[in-house]
Structure 1
Amino acid sequence: MTVLHLSTIFPRSPSSLQSYIANLSKVYGGHGHTFIFALSANFEAPSDLAKSVQSLDNFIGDGGQTVGCLSSPFNGVNSRPLSCSFGVFESPATTFRSVIPGKAEVQVGRWHSFRKKEEEGVSTVTEGDYEEGVDWEDVWDRSRQATSLPEDLQKLDSNTVNSLIYFTDTAPEGLCNSFQLLPKTTKLGLTGAPTPFITGRPVTLFHNGKIHGSGAVGVALSLGKAARMDYLGVKTFSKPVTITSCEGNLVNTINNANPTKLLLSDIRKAGLDGSGIEQYSLGVVLPGEKIGRTYRITSGDPSRGSLALDSQRTPDPGTLVQFLHRPKSATIELPQSLLSPSTPTLGFLSVSESPQGEFQDHDDDIILSDTFLAASEKGVVLSPALDNVKTREDAWVCSLAGGLATLDMAPGVHQ
């Protein structure tokens, strides 16, 4: 398999985007290729959005396959407001549609509620689970058990798949659990932009001529090496400490002490602004003091002590962590590896929900060649490939603004 084209355009106008789509379609359409795209949803005129979606839907022509989504604008990045990313792959490639349900969004400070069975068809929790004395850790473990892969992926030879690229709604847990059946494959997902007031759907996903408002769509590729995670504009400001007690999405003690008081103390020592808890996160410390997974802190109570994280589950007790800071007003500087990549690169960027700074005004389109870059205000989902298939590492959603997951799309040999 070969990647034929990757690019990201920040067009000066909707008409300029239309021209770019038309020119690329002339080159790659009608050859039976596989096409992926991410189009930012923030058009001023609904008619311009509709025209762009129609052009992208018809981009690859008869015999080809299409996977796409409406994505978030690049809030905090000095670029134009509109964007569209393009990826064309030589077929055969397997695209898929998933309706495997997940969980409802976490409620701060309490165990998450499961979606109503009649609405989503999906709870693994029974009435007895709500009785006094329930072992919630057991409930969690049962909900994480691997299920069947999406139907389109069930006949795949796992030895031929290096990466799965997909676009999802805000509940990817069920799909990610099924990906445990492909432990040696890197799985990288982008959460679609919220579009209830744009298209009437919670998210807007595209798969081979059909539009979906839930679930996920994606493509299986024999390309892609291990994903890399970077945090743009994020800095540590504390010494490494250890989680000593936690439950659900709550960190109850750190170093056997009140974690909220520790956070406030470190904020004062660093001379930082303590008025906005949303500026702060918890990062898992890896060997070499590199930061691995990150978790946004959503609330903290000095009297009770617990810190609530934007996650279904905290890191385990005994995990070494550090407090992280990213100012609310910080802009995101894209790395040179995306602006001028040495090899074709796919990147998913987590951004803030509100615009930061000002979008630049250029006379010309801004085009990133050999780079597929899309943004999400709801987070990037990463399930890394595992060298040891007997180990287990759950998927993780990075919702920290500045979190950038990249995947080298050079041909790779499956391990």
Structure 2
Amino acid sequence: MIRAQTVVARTPSALLTSLDRFRLQSKSKGGTLLFALSAPSDALSVITSHLQSHFPRHIGCLSSPLPAYYPHIMCAVALLDGITFRSTIAGRADPQVGRWHAARRSSIQQPPTAQSNIFEKFNGDLNRVNWEDIWDRSAMSAQNMMPVELRTARPEDVTSILYFSDRAPEGIAKALKATFPHSHELGFLASSTPFITGRPVTLFHDGKIYSDGAIGVALQLSLGHPSLKVEFPGLVDLTPDLQITSSEGNLILTVDNGNPTRLLLAAMNKHGLDVRGVLLKDDEFYVGVMGDGKVDRLHRITSGDPSRGTIALGTMSAPPPGSIIRMLYLPQRDEVNLNSGPTHENTSISFIATPDSFGDGRPSSVLENDVLVIDGIFIAGSENGFMLRRGAKEEGWTCTLPGGQASLRWT
């Protein structure tokens, strides 16, 4: 890490003045600019052109506002030394409720066209596909599709990998773990921009703009060993610790050898929650995987079936049997409090999952001047969340909990 800061501004001119100051202070240090920008559509062109002209080597994306500063302009910037890359490895479509039970009998799901390069060597019956098995078989193919810039990097020299991605980062995540198993991996799922730029997401890489795939940077030992931590604010425990006794695909089949959906409904009833539906419209329910007495990994519950007992999660792989979990919920909140303050002596890059919408549009943090500079921290938010993997101990997973935050920090 060379330098990082986050700038909040009332106007485009105030932001550009601050970014010019950042450039002058960093002029002799070189490196690649990492940026995430949240701004009105009529200001995007002048700001992104300014960034690209002054930092020809750059990786960036459009992000969503942070609730504390909405609707001000916000731009996070960092200068990094590392190996930059562009990936076109396809990911997967969103999980479908109950698809794992259906796949045992017959599935009509076809692989997306963009994934044809992953599946072209599979000659089996596509109407009877175990998708997790096929994805595992494709790991070597994904590794062979590794961005050319990373193919000569020695795995032992790469401590962490940062990337901006479309909403399907599974392909690049699988390839990165296969090639750099011991590195930390932190991916930012760029904000959706169809009504802003006409693109699903908007990614910037060395003067080019992309609508899919991923762009990123691999950080090496010369920067030191960072830590990767995640926070889940606002969650309320519904159950004590439980053990998963069977799971398959994205489904939890049994918990403590019992019916997990009925257990969830009983816990909701005990806490005075409406049990007329498995999920409440204004509340979100989660399964937290425990580690060292705290939630270490989080998956949103997307549906439950009281008769079968299964609970479907918004992930490609449910926690395996033997995992200790808790069921939790996030009450409806008018405001999401985010930890976006200075980090003192620690430089960090933080990604935050933001709400899909913001109350009345009034910022909760009033700017005393035209610009606020948070030094030492790169902080960006997206309603699509982030993906992370901490070394070889886990698979990559996505967090969309509003207010959930992952931080890569150098000490």
Instruction: Give the TM-score taking structure 2 as reference length.
Output: 0.87
Partner of 2:329: 325
Q: CA deviation at 1:277?
A: 7.2
Which residue of 43, 48, 60 maps to 1:48?
Answer: 43
C-alpha spacing 1:135/1:273, structure 2 compared with 1 (3 Å): closer
Partner of 2:106: none
Q: CA deviation at 1:31?
A: 5.7
User: Does structure 1 conserve the Cα–Cα contact (< 8 Å) formed by 2:2 and 2:29?
Assistant: no
C-alpha spacing 1:84/1:290, structure 2 compared with 1 (3 Å): same
Other structure's SS at 2:297 match: strand
1:276 paired to 2:281: yes
Partner of 2:356: 353
Deviations 1:301-354 (A, max 9, x none): 333432221111211122111011212215333337x43433111111112212
TM-align CA RMSD: 2.5
Partner of 1:106: 95
CA distance in 2, matches of 1:197, 1:79: 18
C-alpha spacing 1:270/1:342, structure 2 compared with 1 (3 Å): farther
Deviations 1:5-33 (A, max 9, x none): 21112212233212222222233347643
Instruction: Give the TM-score taking structure 1 as reference length.
Output: 0.86
Task: Kindly provide the amino acid, as one letter, of the partner of residue 84 in structure 2.
Answer: T
1:177 paired to 2:174: yes
CA distance in 2, matches of 1:82, 1:110: 41
Which residue of 74, 90, 105 maps to 2:66?
Answer: 74
C-alpha spacing 1:205/1:305, structure 2 compared with 1 (3 Å): same
Aligned length: 391
Other structure's SS at 1:175 match: helix
User: Does structure 1 conserve the Cα–Cα contact (< 8 Å) formed by 2:139 and 2:175?
Assistant: no
1:371 paired to 2:349: no
C-alpha spacing 1:291/1:171, structure 2 compared with 1 (3 Å): same
Other structure's SS at 1:219 match: strand
Q: CA deviation at 1:206?
A: 0.9
C-alpha spacing 1:140/1:152, structure 2 compared with 1 (3 Å): closer
Other structure's SS at 1:159 match: helix
CA distance in 2, matches of 1:120, 1:131: 15
Which residue of 150, 156, 161 maps to 1:159?
Answer: 156
Task: Kindly provide the amino acid, as one letter, of the partner of residue 157 in structure 2.
Answer: T
Q: CA deviation at 1:74?
A: 1.6
User: Does structure 2 conserve the Cα–Cα contact (< 8 Å) formed by 1:233 and 1:330?
Assistant: no
C-alpha spacing 1:230/1:183, structure 2 compared with 1 (3 Å): same
Task: Kindly provide the amino acid, as one letter, of the partner of residue 58 in structure 2.
Answer: T
- Correspondences of 1:236-315 after superposition (within 5 Å): 236-272=237-273, 275-276=280-281, 278-287=283-292, 289-315=293-319
Q: CA deviation at 1:295?
A: 0.3
- Correspondences of 1:92-103 after superposition (within 5 Å): 93-103=82-92
- Correspondences of 1:147-226 after superposition (within 5 Å): 147-148=143-144, 149-180=146-177, 181-222=179-220, 223=223, 224-226=225-227
- Correspondences of 1:375-414 after superposition (within 5 Å): 375-386=381-392, 393-410=394-411
Q: CA deviation at 1:271?
A: 2.9
Q: CA deviation at 1:215?
A: 0.7
User: Does structure 1 conserve the Cα–Cα contact (< 8 Å) formed by 2:282 and 2:331?
Assistant: no
User: Does structure 2 conserve the Cα–Cα contact (< 8 Å) formed by 1:21 and 1:55?
Assistant: no
Other structure's SS at 2:22 match: helix
- What residue ranges of structure 2 are gaps of 5+ in the alignment? 104-108
CA distance in 2, matches of 1:228, 1:266: 29
Task: Kindly provide the amino acid, as one letter, of the partner of residue 267 in structure 1.
Answer: M
C-alpha spacing 1:178/1:135, structure 2 compared with 1 (3 Å): closer
- What residue ranges of structure 1 are gaps of 5+ in the alignment? 387-391, 411-415
Task: Kindly provide the amino acid, as one letter, of the partner of residue 64 in structure 2.
Answer: S
CA distance in 1, matches of 2:244, 2:356: 29
Other structure's SS at 1:221 match: strand
Q: CA deviation at 1:280?
A: 1.0
Partner of 1:413: none
